[in-house]
Structure 1
Amino acid sequence: MDAEKKRISHKTLNKSFNIWFWGALTCFSQEHMQTFGYLCSMLPIIKELYPNDNETQTNNIKAYTAFFNTNPMLGSVIIGATASLEEARANGENIDGQTINDMRAGLMGPIAGIGDSLIDGTLIPILLGIALGMSRNGSPVGAIFYIIVWDLIAYFGQRFLYFRGYKLGDKAVGFLVGKQGKAVRRAISIVGGMVVGGVLATWVNVTTSLQLRDNTGHVFLDLQKQLDGIFPGILTVIVTLFCWWLMSKKHVSAIWTMIILIGVAFVGVVLGVFNPGLKY
């Protein structure tokens, strides 16, 4: 009986994955998001499982026309798991389009949250922190490192998750959203926080040039020296916490946070609080 079962060939799985990797955001819009990328990645699988049966292909592909949006990188595990479900459906298992839709609708939210925090909030800052350290004195090595390493991680990481999802089905997704996955994500987030903290201490330096002088022009108060005597780097800490408060507590976007910082810097330079070191 096993020999008679329909199996998705490795070539078709590769084609399906590559379509997702390169076209996850195909025809991206607020109405459909990643729907068409998902749909296109399932077309080779549908065609192989139901050859010469256009009616069945049409009916089964309708399951993939519903709204879909998740983190593209970790979301590949959902595509792989869906391929496994589609294969089971082709072999007579009690799986229909609604079952597939319920599965992906229930997973795309948690996977998006995990992926955005793990990839965008942890992995990318770690890689950028390493790249910045390699780019001292204008060296292009850091940029080259980031481009190559990120592309390799993105491709092979997504590929691993896709085929793991296909092999294990919903069990693979269960790892990401289960207790083991939670522990792994927390460990990675701690490491990411340490790296971001190291980048902050190395590359961010906020100082003030504010000085008070007497009638003779003698400086009797150098604010930066006083601050360094109390808490070295305290202005850097204050600015960092201010940015964190804006984005985390007030939900201000990164772009608006940068605009606010530019405004503060401009006013500070005008008032003599900051010195950009420019020569006119």
Structure 2
Amino acid sequence: MTMKTSDKHVLNKKDLRKMFWRSLPMEFSWHYERQMHMGFEYMISSGLQKIYKGQPEKLKEALIRNLEFFNCTAHITPFIGGVTLAMEEENAKEDNFDTSSITAVKAALMGPLSGLGDSIILGTLRVLAVGIGASLAVKGNILGSILFFLIFNVPTFALRYYTSMKGYELGSTFITRIQKSGVMATFMLAAGILGVMVIGGMVDNLVVAKTALKIGSGSSATKIQEVLDGILPGMLPLGFTGIYYYLLQKKVNVIWIIIGTAIFGIICAQFGILKAN
């Protein structure tokens, strides 16, 4: 694969290779509040420093901007990193560039690429590598561990490298094209809608909150949970997520939120207000 470079591009292959190597410890700093955001920041930080050389205020804003929530299959994150650096490069050149589009594009790419990466890399390739490696390892064959290492890591390393280059190449070309056509606003709206849909799907699947309350007694009792599901499925998870979002906006410490959630859950379970499933 070749990548076209010109004077208008700040980054070159050497910079993108550095991003590739920096993508390897992507999950070393994973945590529940913002998940992979520090790994993503580390991956693109050298590129940002080169892009915003001589623009300390813009560099500071970019570093803060890219510390927002981020989560994606680690082996595909260099693609998003490349697109992000291409957009940051445009921001460095243009005073009127809408920086909210950078966050919107990242949010729009996370969900689809995670679904693709989790299915192919973690759900298929890793299982295949484990199956082949384990079948030999149980027989005492040292090739078991070697084959597992090669079958899983060779394709994923190649994918990381390819997406590092392709993300920046496509990103710079794509951003230039939509800037000239004037459809950036439409693209931002679509990306924002997709991002909200992804977050909504995550809330419904990952946040579990059901009430055990009933109106009446015996077999004829009306279950409050069924009433809520009839009005809006996932109403309680959405409500609790909204409360957490509000608390985070108010800068409430995450540790206190976790402790409060645990205490609230114990009390509600003890008095039969909430149930596990």
Asked if Structure 1 and Structure 2 have the same fold, meaning a TM-score greater than 0.5 normalized by the shorter chain, the answer is yes
Q: How many angstroms apart in 2 are the aligned matches of 1:149 and 1:3?
A: 37
After TM superposition, which residue ranges in structure 1, 4 or more long, deviate above 6 angstroms?
none
Q: What does residue 130 of structure 1 align with? A: 132
Deviation at 1:93, TM superposition (A): 8.0
Q: Deviations over 1:46-71 (max 9, x none)?
A: 11112132212112222201111111
Higher relative contact order (CA 8 A, sep 6+): 2
User: In 1, distance between residues paired with 2:6 and 2:81?
Assistant: 25
In structure 1, list runs of 5 or more residues that go unmatched: 173-280
In the alignment, the residues of structure 2 paired with residue 117 and residue 171 of structure 1 have an alpha-carbon distance, to the nearest angstrom, of 28
What amino acid maps onto 1:100 in structure 2? I
Percent identity between the two aligned chains: 25
Residue 34 of structure 1 aligns with which residue?
36
Question: Which among 17, 26, 43 is matched to residue 14 of structure 1?
Answer: 17
1:12 aligned partner, one-letter code: D
Shift of 1:3: 6.4
Return closer, same or farther for 1:6/1:94 CA change in 2, 3 Å cut-off. farther
Q: Structure 1 68/3 Cα, relative in aligned 2: closer, same or farther at 3 Å?
A: closer
Structure 1 pair 171/10, CA: closer, same or farther in 2 (3 Å)? closer
**How far off is 1:135 after superposition?**
4.0
TM-score, length-scaled by structure 2: 0.55
Residue 87 of structure 2 aligns with which residue? Answer: 85
For residues 18 and 96 of structure 1, the distance between their equivalents in structure 2, rounded to whole angstroms, comes to 29
Query: Is the 8 Å Cα contact of residues 24 and 38 (structure 1) preserved in structure 2?
Result: yes
- Cα shift readout 1:181-222 (whole Å, capped 9, x = no counterpart): xxxxxxxxxxxxxxxxxxxxxxxxxxxxxxxxxxxxxxxxxx
Choose 9-18 or 42-51, whichever is displaced more.
Answer: 9-18
Equivalent residues of 1:81, 1:168 under 8 A apart: yes
Structure 2 CA distance for partners of 1:125 and 1:8, relative to 1, 3 Å: same
TM-score by length of 1: 0.55
Amino acid in structure 2 at the alignment position of 1:14: R
Decide which structure has the larger Cα Rg and report it. Answer: 1
For structure 2, the 5+ residue unaligned runs are 175-277
Task: Report if the CA contact (8 A) 1:8-1:49 is conserved.
Answer: yes
Decide which of 117, 141, 144 is 1:142's aligned counterpart.
144
Q: Are the aligned partners of 2:75 and 2:159 in contact in 1 as well (CA < 8 Å)?
A: yes
Mapped to 2, the partners of 1:6 and 1:121 lie a distance apart of: 37
Alpha-carbon displacement from aligned partner over 1:61-106 (angstroms, at most 9, x marks no partner): 2220111111111222111111221222223286432111000111
Q: 1:3 to 1:123 in 2, by over 3 A?
A: closer
Q: Secondary structure at the match of 2:139?
A: helix
Count of aligned pairs between the two proteins: 170
Provide the C-alpha distance between the structure 2 equivalents of 1:28 and 1:53, rounded to a whole number of angstroms. 30
The root-mean-square deviation of aligned C-alpha atoms, in Å, is 2.4
Query: How far apart in 2 are the matches of 1:62 and 1:25?
Result: 19
- Give a deviation string over 1:217-270, Cα, whole Å, max 9, x none: xxxxxxxxxxxxxxxxxxxxxxxxxxxxxxxxxxxxxxxxxxxxxxxxxxxxxx
Q: Hey, what does 2:259 align to over in structure 1?
A: none
